[in-house]
Amino acid sequence: MDAATLQDRISRGLGSAARVLGPPTDAYRPSGVANPLDPANRYLQLPAAFSAPDGRFQRPDPYGAALWHGVFDSAYTLAGDYLVQGSAIWFIAAQQPLLPVLCVRTSRVVSFARPAAPAAAGVNAYGGVIPAAAMPLLTAWPASVLGAGGGGTPQADLPSNATVPFWTVLLPSVPGVVLRPADLMSDDLGRNAVVAAAELTDLGWRLTVKQAST
């Protein structure tokens, strides 16, 4: 049996299991840099179930865990697609041949922008970041945002200053968009952050961001 035939049978088997285990799930395929869950991007409804990475449906995912195994007919889906069950949202991180489908459970909706360059060389009237002048990169993307180790305190060093948190952000790669350190991130809770490190992996973007504080 060749690999393509074997993969087709695995996908069909996952689809059969999902029809028993999983509720109807909407699949979305992003078509640009904004609003991947726009109704126009919905292309399919299929049964799907999700388990912890051990694949045994024996325990829930613990705190700080974003990775899940997806059980659904992967012949219809691609890495980077979003799957929505009610208020729960995953994106497909990888569909590697003959292996389980790796999904990421999202927790926030984030947007990215790039600060504008100075208007002219030399001395300018203002050297800070002007959000209104920043160039949008990605708008309203569901992503996994989890607390990361490390942190610091604002330079003012006041007694009431709290540690500045760092987050690990996981989201799909988007054709034509390259995220860089110093890009700005905002989320649906109104928080702002700055990208400290950006790594494009086979599974999508893995970012370390630092919450912006005043």
Check whether residue 75 and residue 117 sit in a common domain: no
Q: What is residue 7's three-state secondary structure?
A: helix
- If asked whether residues 83 and 115 sit together in one domain, one would say no
Positions of E strands within the chain: 24-28, 42-47, 49-51, 67-71, 82-85, 88-94, 101-105, 108-114, 135-152, 164-171, 184-187, 192-201, 204-211
CB contact set of 161 (below 8 Å; sequence gap of 6+): 153, 154
Q: pLDDT (tens digit, 9 = 90+) per residue, 146-204?
A: 988 666 555 555 555 567 789 999 999 999 999 999 999 999 999 999 999 999 999 99
Determine the pLDDT at residue 98.
79
pLDDT tens digits for range 72-107: 999 999 999 999 999 999 999 999 887 889 999 999
DSSP assignment of 165-195, as one string?
Answer: EEEEEEE---TT----TT-EEEETTS-EEEE
* Domain-terminating residue out of 105, 131, 149: 105
Please report, rounded to a whole number, the percentage of residues in the chain having pLDDT higher than 90: 61
**Same-domain pairing of 49 and 62:** yes
* 198 and 130 both lie in a single domain: yes
Q: Which of 85, 105, 125 is the last residue of a domain?
A: 105
Q: Are residues 126 and 207 in the same domain?
A: yes
- The domain total for the chain is 2
What is the C-alpha radius of gyration for the chain, rounded to an integer number of angstroms?
Answer: 20
CATH classification at residue 141: 2.40.10
Pick from 53-57, 62-66, 69-73, 93-97: least confident: 53-57
Q: What is the pTM of this model?
A: 0.86
Instruction: Assess whether 78 and 12 both reside in one domain.
Output: yes
| Sign of the dihedral defined by the CA atoms of residues 33, 36, 39, 41, in that order | positive
Question: What tokens were used for 98?
Answer: 């003959």
For residue 83, count CB atoms less than 10 angstroms from its CB and return exposed for 0-12, middle for 13-18, buried for 19 or more: buried
In terms of domains, do 22 and 93 share one?
Answer: yes
The answer on 96 and 63 residing in a single domain is yes
Domain that holds residue 100: 3-105
